[in-house]
Amino acid sequence: MKLKKPEDLTKIKKQGMDLLSPGNIRITVGAATCGNAKGASKIIEALKYQIKKKKIKADVVRVGCNGMCYAEPIVEVISAGKPRITYGNVTTENIDQIIKAVSTGNPVADLAMMRWDEEKSAVTSDVIKYAKGKIPKALEAIKESKKIPFIKNQKKIVSRNAGTINPESIEEYIALGGYSGLAKVLSKMSSKDVIKEVKDSKLRGRGGAGFPTGLKWEACNRAKGDKKYVVCNGSEGDPEIGMHRSFLESDPQSIIEGMIIAGYAVGAEEGYVYLNDRYLLGIERMATAINQAEKFGLLGKNILGSDFSFTLKIKRGGGAYICGEETALLNSLEGACGEPRTRPPFPVESGLFGKPTVVNNIETLANIPVIAIKGGKFIAAIGTPASKGTKIVALSGNVAQPCWAEVPMGTKIEEVIGVFGNGTANGKKVKAFQTGGPSGGILPAKSLKLKLDYDELRKAGSLLGSGGLLVMDEGADLVDMAKFFTDFFADESCGKCTTCREGVKRLQEIVGTIADGRGTKEHLNTIKRMGTALSDTSFCALGKTAAVPVLSVMRHFPKEVSDRMLKKID
């Protein structure tokens, strides 16, 4: 069905609501990569078999990841008029219990992460607030949670649909407000109006650099060119971060809607979604989402009856870390080597195929539909003076609960680790942590009170980056950690500039010498000099930050470094 005008969304919204709140019971299973890796497909097969066998009127639906990767496979039961029941760490042995609970209406007490007779909720009020129209009884359960701290303490804006909707159902996305932002933009706003709202939101790019999104769009809008492009950066080459993959697998339509609005704002009629080649499920679901959007006329010619047209294609990249840098990504898109370009000119002036191009990452683009509906001031009211809105954080390392969560900017690091990670896995104290991926500094435990804020973390010698948070306990060998990241940079250097190509290789040799117990004070002095040289003369951020992990360990943990230098390793 082609949607010819904004009002046509109402028909699809009803279809989506019927899917989200059918006459039957709705049983969802987290089937993103994390859930699939822990047996979600077998859980789905077992549920369907038992439902059919016992003749229970229920629908089993694949959904994405709600962030609780530590509790996968997650099964949730939604019954009309009753709150949502969340079961975690489900195995096929639990299916009989769950099916019995479905038929009797009494939750499995030992398995439920939240019991309906104690609490009233399961996800967050933001989903309901974002939705338009009448909310079916089964969705009344989607309100703020008091039982699960993991859910209760989040501010779900970008991730509002993740783990709730079927990522392969455009109808369910539309039911919860999807494409309402696009409809508003195309029917009531000029490109300058859209850019003004994005500028008012003070949204900064979530890919790492933190450049103001509205200023980037404004520059591209003003740039002269017979053709312009919008590119989604879904490269995500950081070794310990996967929340963009999880989000892509959970809510691809929000990325598409954000890209269409971006295209309208800057004057582009063509876009590319650049995805890590290893994200097979994400690529599959994005392809499905694009096909559905085309089928409904939300991509293509004269969208929703307007004079604006926009098409979208997927480009699979090799997963190189360097392609997270936007000009290296553009080279890869063009079929060239993934190497950074000289700037200026910047991509907004001369980007893909030499045309003005806006490059934003997945999380940045997913903010755009919310800004379109609620206005820029809604996002600007959240966070710190310098960092507005929310941030999705991927928590990994030695934590009890590896996960990803969306929290307001300004949330303290210690709160993220304590509330969402539930502390360390072995109960030891946190010794150090790293924010922002490999390019971030390794900071000591005394810095745990730092906030998620671009400027505050930069002053502390780290960065917010795309949102990785790696935790190390008292037993961690930080010299080995520094070596790991130095090895990573040596492997990922594209080799374009001499400073990085030769410098990082030499840095790798020196750090390896120290890790082997053969280091000297002169080695430490050389690392400091090399760090300055790399920062001052490297072509891009990879080389500029390659020495940051080892320099931060030398600064914050000098005794550990000196002790390791004297330790002979066989």
Cβ atoms < 10 Å from Cβ of 281: 17
Residue 504: pLDDT over 50:
yes
Cα–Cα distance between 392 and 491 in angstroms, integer? Answer: 27
SS3 content of the chain, % helix, strand, coil (to 5): 45, 15, 40
Q: What pLDDT digit, counting tens, does each position of 52-77 carry?
A: 999 999 999 999 999 999 999 999 99
Per-residue pLDDT at 47: 97
Q: Return the structure tokens found at 452.
A: 């998620």
Q: In terms of domains, do 209 and 159 share one?
A: no
DSSP secondary structure code for residue 302 in this structure: S
Of 443, 472, 501, the position where a domain reaches its end is 472
In a domain, 2, yes or no: no
Query: Picking from 117-126, 332-341, 372-381, 472-481, which range would have the lowest pLDDT averaged per residue?
Result: 117-126
Per-residue CA distances from 452 to 195, 293, 457 (Å): 25, 35, 7
Residue 566: pLDDT over 80:
no
In a domain, 5, yes or no: no
Q: Return the structure tokens found at 85.
A: 């029941």
DSSP secondary structure code for residue 310 in this structure: B
Closest CA to 201 of 450, 375, 443: 375
DSSP-assigned states of every residue in 356-381: -EEEEEHHHHHHHHHHHHH-HHHHHT
Of 174, 200, 224, the position where a domain reaches its end is 174
Q: In terms of domains, do 115 and 89 share one?
A: yes
Residue 278: pLDDT over 80:
yes
Residue 39: pLDDT over 80:
yes
Q: Which amino acid appears at position 256 of this protein?
A: I
Of 123, 146, 174, the position where a domain reaches its end is 174
Question: In sequence order, what are the residues at sequence separation of 6 or more whose Cβ sits closer than 8 angstroms to the Cβ of residue 55?
Answer: none
Domain span holding position 518: 478-566
Cα–Cα distance between 476 and 472 in angstroms, integer? Answer: 6
Residues found in the chain: 570
DSSP secondary structure code for residue 313 in this structure: E
Under DSSP, is residue 232 helix (H, G, I), strand (E, B) or coil?
Answer: strand
Q: In terms of domains, do 188 and 52 share one?
A: no
Residue 568 binned pLDDT confidence (cut-offs 50, 70, 90)? low
Residue 393 binned pLDDT confidence (cut-offs 50, 70, 90)? very high
Residue 307: pLDDT over 50:
yes
DSSP β-bridge partners for residue 473 = 430
For the purposes of burial, counting CB atoms within 10 Å of the CB of 484, is it exposed (0-12), middle (13-18) or buried (19 or more)? middle
Specify the CATH number for the domain of residue 110.
3.40.30.10
Query: Picking from 117-131, 150-164, 209-223, 234-248, which range would have the lowest pLDDT averaged per residue?
Result: 117-131
Cα–Cα distance between 203 and 368 in angstroms, integer? Answer: 9
Per-residue pLDDT at 142: 38
Per-residue pLDDT at 130: 28
In a domain, 495, yes or no: yes
Q: In terms of domains, do 356 and 405 share one?
A: no
Handedness of CA 8, 11, 14, 15 (dihedral sign): negative
Per-residue pLDDT at 85: 86
Residue 567 binned pLDDT confidence (cut-offs 50, 70, 90)? low
Q: What pLDDT digit, counting tens, does each position of 181-235 carry?
A: 999 999 999 999 999 999 999 999 998 778 999 999 999 999 999 999 999 999 8
In a domain, 327, yes or no: yes
Average pLDDT, the chain: 90
Long-range contacts of 336-339 (CB under 8 A, 24+ apart): 337/494, 338/494, 339/494, 339/496
Per-residue pLDDT at 236: 79
Domain count for the chain: 4
Q: In terms of domains, do 212 and 354 share one?
A: yes
First to last CA, the chain: 69
For the whole model, what pTM was predicted?
Answer: 0.92
